[in-house]
Structure 1
Amino acid sequence: MKNFTKSYLKNYQIVTLFVLCSGFSFSQCPTIVWADEFSGTTLDQTKWNYQIGDGCAEGICGWGNNELQSYQQANVVVSNGTLKITAKKERIRGSQYTSGRINSKAKGDFTYGRFEASIKLPYGDGLWPAFWMLSTNNPYGTWPQSGEIDIMEFVASEPDKIFGTIHYGDLYPNNQFQGNGYTLHGANYPDAFHEFAIEWEPGEIRWFMDGILYSVKKTEDVSPFMWPFDQDFHFLLNVAVGGNLGGTVNNNMLPATMEVDYVRVYDGFKSYLSGTTVVSNQASDQVYTINNVSNNTNVTWTVPSGATIVSGQGTPSITVDFGSTSGDVSASFNDGCATQNYSLYVEVEPPYVKAVSFENFDEPSTVSLALTTGVLTEVSNPSPNAINSSAISGKYDRDSGEQYDLVVYDVSTIADASHYVTKNKKFYLDVYTSAPIGTDIILQLETSVATPTNYPSGRHSRYVATITENNTWQRLAFTLLDRPDNSASDTAIVKMILLFASNSYTGDTYYYDNFDSYNADTGTGSNTPPVINITSPANNSSFSEGTTINITADASDSDGSITQVEFFANGNSIGVDTSQPYAIDYIVTLGATELTAVATDDDNATTNSQSVNITGQTTGEATSIHVSSIVTGTANAGKGSKYGTANVTIVDNLGNPIANAQVTGTFSGTFNESASAYTNSNGSAALQTQASSKGTVTVNFCVDSVVYSALPYEPSNNTVTCSNSSARLASQSNDAFGSTETRTTVVKVYPNPAKKLLQISLEGFEKHTSISILNSNGIELYTKEFIAPKGQLDISSLPNGLYFIKVQDQKHNVKVMRFIK
């Protein structure tokens, strides 16, 4: 091995100046400008410094990572052509372990170029070897403000994985980091030497393992933080023991040694292979490229069995159609400097089949919405296509004031989250958005250990999907991003969190639907979903409130067995039965209730039953009728004009809807006319203006009279007699609970009636308010602290009926608003 002298450092400085002045136009065959081939018998201290101790002398006991070792010079040895750093179980002062660490500070300091080392990593649970770089002069402040570049980090308890990372941002605990990893197939890193490298130029760093590009980070990736990687950095080589990343130490695997064959710095870049490492079953149009070679370079390619090179054989870039078999995409060529042979293992995933729907907005959810920082509403599908033809989807407006915007679901149906880590299962989500292509959506699984302030504790795993198209539905598959807390239980997942454009302050709108779990088809054939049908009660049946009824269902599975049938009322679970005949008792509540059931088979596939609607009626004799709600709006009149509309609901004093009652009233605001209509079987009368208007339309409506042959109209019992389009309450009125309001405050609630989510907008209130939901008897059911001016409440668990929202702020401004579920 060649022994490079200090003259190369001088040459490096000259080359660096040339590079910076010439726009970084490197030659095809780069030149080594600094290196250590470790061909002597002692460490070359013209290039390296020993670092000794446990970090306490530097003011960072445990080296800032709770590491367990004390670094000692004796643990660093050069012999037989390699550097050897050995971790041992031996006591030095307060440390139970020793190891070695060296750096090149003030002896090898660099800005830009190619930096590589050939390293054989050690086995040994709890070891944490690294080849990395730190800022030499800290021009932007102490760590991590001036940056850290991890060329290679290795957690020995996962011997087939390495990581490349950058650290930057504000001082701890507001520091930032990001990176990627590379996993070997069918081998472990300690079994052989591997070359780990970065290529660093202004505004960009690229990571390589054995000539394979696996990560790229650019200036824009760290925004809004500064990119500190434009100053001198120096090398570090060490083997840490334990610590935040190393984990629990297995003493039986010590001593253990990291061997380094060479460390080299080049004035230019090398050829390399790039392309996707994981593709879907039968994936087409996958591109693999040899980079940093001339276009006329002759490259011989081979691909896995079942794959086809569609175009490009003999050139630096090919297009491949895959079958169902994984394997190496390999390239052999001469880049003008040497003959190169690169191989990239490509995993072809199995086909996946839908098993469970968590949330699809058209059917009962199997998860419960717990929290959003933005605004989620149910809307009509903005643009149905072959991917998503559902009638209803979710519309999520991201809160631009939140750096980490959240949609949080409570979940109890993920029995074993390890299946998602191993890709036996996958999460899918349909998304329609105009957010920039490349925007990431992160899905995080949490246990009950997680709190807002204890990250990463309780964060079982994170998955990522990336926007690839705009303004059309796309089905995104989530891939594993990382395991923030490896100790989080696989069987204790209680929350699923969606983060749209995490770590940004964007306010884009995301329509999403079909949030599903898919199972890998292992080759035994696609699973046929079960069949289910509610057999009792009959659709549109009526019962007295408080009556106990028996809900029954038939369920079968043609290629397996039924594991359970879960019953739902208005989308809320009311019980599970695991054996035939599938049935459950249910106490009828007042008003309309939608009954459904979900069958699950032994492959975890699910099927929803048909809906059965029942009505709960109050017993006793009705004596009068009154108005229970007025909802105003507009209807399209063509050519940009709108009609005014009002839907008035009439019920008797027992709360039952009244059909065939004549409602007469007066429109005001933009319109000034009377209208009359009869109520339908749901007690609702639809009224519309004769006139139409363009532009901004204000619709007010007051009920003047209600005529019904069987019962008298009692206006004093009206929930509301006059309403307008903004749901503004009278500036001075006595509410149902005797309070009087005289301040200029406005409460807007919509939609009204609502099914799952109730949107709330406040005007004239203090920032911090409390919002209470009360039933029709004035009993408080729920109270939530609220930050004005807008937000939402999940009312999916409430039975159908009449409710009140009471809003009160710190200055005792009070409003009461009525809504119907």
Structure 2
Amino acid sequence: MTFSKKLLLALFLYVPSLAFSQEFLRWADEFNGTNLDTTFWEYQLGDGCPNLCGWGNGESQYYQKSAVVVENGLLKIKAKKETIGTSFYSSARIRTINKMDFASGRIEVRARMPIGRGYWPAVWFLPTENYYGIWPLSGEIDMLEAKGQEPTNTYGTIHYGARTPNNKYTGTTYTLPSGSFASDFHRYGLIWKNDTIKWLVDDVVYSTKTRASLPEFWWPYDRNFHCIINMAVGGNFLGYPDASTPDTATMQVDYIRIYQNPSEMFISGPAAVMRLDQQKEYYIQNLAGATYTWEVPSSLKIVSGQGTSAVKINWGLRSDSIHVNLTYNGKTTRISRFIQALPDTCAGLVDNAEFIKSIYWVGSNGTHKSSLTNPTKDAVNGSNLANRYYRNGATQYDALTLYSDLIHHAKDFEEGKLVLKMKLYTTAPIGTEVNINFENYNLAKSDYPIGRRIVVQAKTTKTRAWEELTFKVILRPDVNMNEGSIDQLVVLFAPNTSNADVFYYDDFAVEETPCKDLANGLNTLEEQAKVTVYPNPFSKELYIESSFVPTKIEVVDIMGRVQAGASGLNQLNTQLENLPAGTYLLRIYNGEQAVLKRILKTTNGYE
């Protein structure tokens, strides 16, 4: 077996198939030795207590090193019925965290599953950083999961969404056409790209998930993850062993291989930044022997990391693209990403529930739904979509918790340099208070006021009609917490009441006071020239009204790639009809400066 696996590896390295001709093998464990290679793996031990007893799923096993065996070219994880503390089985769980982390690629595992009710083998991936927050906010990718009582089935799933109990998942069950996953080895595959994940068994694609699969939430699969291989026993997913369950079971893994393709790698980091944000970190996969040359426009500055896989950037005023030239094995690949600088103007939107998304629901006492039909279009809010919240009248301080990858600092809001605004439609009476707390999630687990840096407030002046609320600082509960550690906005509609009304909210905006001036090098062209782009959304053609004649017009996708460009609108429109549906940035140049407009391309007329 050892010889055949080395031969197979050589074939993958030197005679790649046409479909994967740009791939290279980044890492593999063929399990050819006699011990687990702790250069790349570490053990997770115990029953999950005290912080995660039962490993969060009501599992019955106790993980220990002795349940891992490497022999005859195989990794074997052996579960055994025995009492250890309050656990009734022993088993093993290993992971590659901080030893082999990756984002994107083609992962292949050849494995054989155990049989028996309650045995739960899996190969899966968790985020290394928890950048977006605790599980499941930062995501989970289950490459394969099996139920010992269903030997012909395997499961491929992603987890995401709001905090428990509002977490979400979507997945697919694959059933073998013949045989079972316990009777022989099978090849499990995962193809992970910037906005798509595909699951395979024996080269058959059986499931595909995209950004569109997560309509209410962000796509968290854009940062480093690590691999976990384990066999749990019992739990919420599959139930528990019974009298038919064998006392022992073994999960066998022949190999794990991770291939990567430079042309499909992506830059990880915030999709949006505040204007003039400092020290924003972006990175790409850290490949041994590779060289990295980062490029940014003149309005941005790389303050550290040039020549490495990770840089920190001081931002300017404009949305723009950043680039890295990755040279590996003598070939250079240029990878780009477009980053939104928000707000676009001195009083611009940072989220509108449609194509500007930087604020997301992560938890609530009441009932929340994102991006629903606007209940009443009017002169204040004529947009198609808005977010809806039914307040829980049984909760005195009903809390709607929002996550923003944009607002992390409270100081400028405290000092009045930035002002938060929001449009609201409600059935609540005039004079209803709306508070927004700038909080740190971990600190705010403690009793008030810990973890609440500032509270801003507005009061309604209308009922059953849209209005724009302007929030002012009313409290500074915890002045000792770090003003740059904000990771959640907690909205309290009608605090300290039993109100059960409905609240539609939309169009978060941040106003800069005073507005910075171009004479000081800090303004945007759009503040000098009124530019109108219509229709938006569009299906075939665009029209532009402006106070200047554009010298160049470009359409840029979310990765910063120019998808269409011309010196005039007529020439541009000939390219737009075949443009895929999606959100783009329209760059309208007047010499070296550009006006930036977000546009939404549809496929079936105006929406």
RCO comparison, higher one (Cα < 8 Å, 6+): 2
Q: Which structure shows the higher strand fraction?
A: 1
TM range (shorter): 0.3 to 0.5
TM-score with structure 1 setting the length: 0.30
Bigger radius of gyration among the two: 1
